[in-house]
Amino acid sequence: MTQVSYKDLGLVNTKEMFKKAMDGKYAIPAYNFNNLEQLQAIVNGCVESNSPFILQVSSGARKYANQTLLRYLAEGAVELIKSMNSNVKFALHLDHGDTFELCKSCIDSGFSSVMIDGSHHSYEENIRLTKQVVEYAHEHGVTVEGELGVLAGIEDDVVAAESVYTHPDQVEDFVKRTGVDSLAISIGTSHGANKFKPEQCSKNADGVLVPPPLRFDILEEIEKRIPGFPIVLHGASSVLPEYVKMINENGGKLDDAVGIPEEQLRRAASSAVCKINIDSDGRLAMTGMIRKVFNNNPAEFDPRKYLGPARDALAQMIVHKNKNVLGSAGKA
């Protein structure tokens, strides 16, 4: 593939985005996509709420959708936003890159931001790998997200049995030695729809499972160690009950699905956390609507008749997240 600069595609990196978010006490939404309908929903929802955003691609999405096609979809999203008379800007970001080669390939194909996740390595190897990616990325004006700590759960190729909280005493050294532009930390969020086991949760007055609270004490200590530095939360879907209910009422089976309470995410977004990743909630919204369409009309076979409503449901969920959870609405 011919090397392409993200600037030629009309994209932005995350540097200015994060500065504005930290000054304004909100977080930039980072939405994962794998297909056209998800991309349309993200653009439509963020334009409607006038929110900057980050379009995220995992290594699994690149394999599924084809890396060349994804680049053209992102470029098309720029033109789509213009056609809607909007000035919303977005970054194209690699989510959970695990090798230098993968990050380099994304940078060379026009990504404006990459994540190198070396958290499964030893601390020193994580530093070495992250620094290698940073040096190449910065030569091309691309911003880099690193990670310290491990999130439990499953998301595409990322699998961990249990969480390992980020050690605040490591963050200053890690940031200084690697040169990263932002840092993903572990304070109790988790990948996937089943983020917590029932025995980890309590029950409220209505008998609904309530997860353990996020470790804001760790976040606050990290803020003291690296003041003003952009922090990222992964695994931050709330596993919205209305979509879980919709799935289960239409033939699905999502037992004990529990996510991160939205009020805790709003609190995080008012701190140094200036990027919050949301993937599972989008999958749940689309899957719930598709199941509902099929359950109501088993004879339906036109993809537009079930993917269209699913796209619209995702777009409205994104408007809700931007306005009520991340606080990014109106900040484009």
Residue-wise pLDDT tens digits, 109-149: 999 999 999 988 999 999 999 999 999 999 999 999 999 97
Cα–Cα distances (Å) from 150 to 10, 12, 84, 96, 103, in that order, read: 33, 28, 40, 12, 20
Comparing 35-49, 113-127, 199-213, the range with the smallest average pLDDT is 199-213
Residue 210 has pLDDT above 90, yes or no: no
Residue 190 inside a domain? The answer is: yes
* Distance separating alpha carbons of residues 269 and 6, to the nearest angstrom: 27
Residue 71 inside a domain? The answer is: yes
Domain that holds residue 64: 6-326
- What CATH number corresponds to the domain at position 130? 3.20.20.70
Residue-wise pLDDT tens digits, 150-172: 665 444 554 443 457 899 999 99
Measure the N-to-C terminal CA separation of the chain; round to a whole number of Å.
Answer: 32
Q: What is the tally of structural domains in the chain?
A: 1
Residue 126 inside a domain? The answer is: yes
Residue 169 inside a domain? The answer is: yes
Residue 1 inside a domain? The answer is: no
Cα–Cα distances (Å) from 94 to 32, 50, 121, 316, in that order, read: 10, 23, 19, 24
Residue 332 inside a domain? The answer is: no
pTM, two decimals, is 0.92
* Residues carrying an active site annotation: 95
Residue 138 inside a domain? The answer is: yes
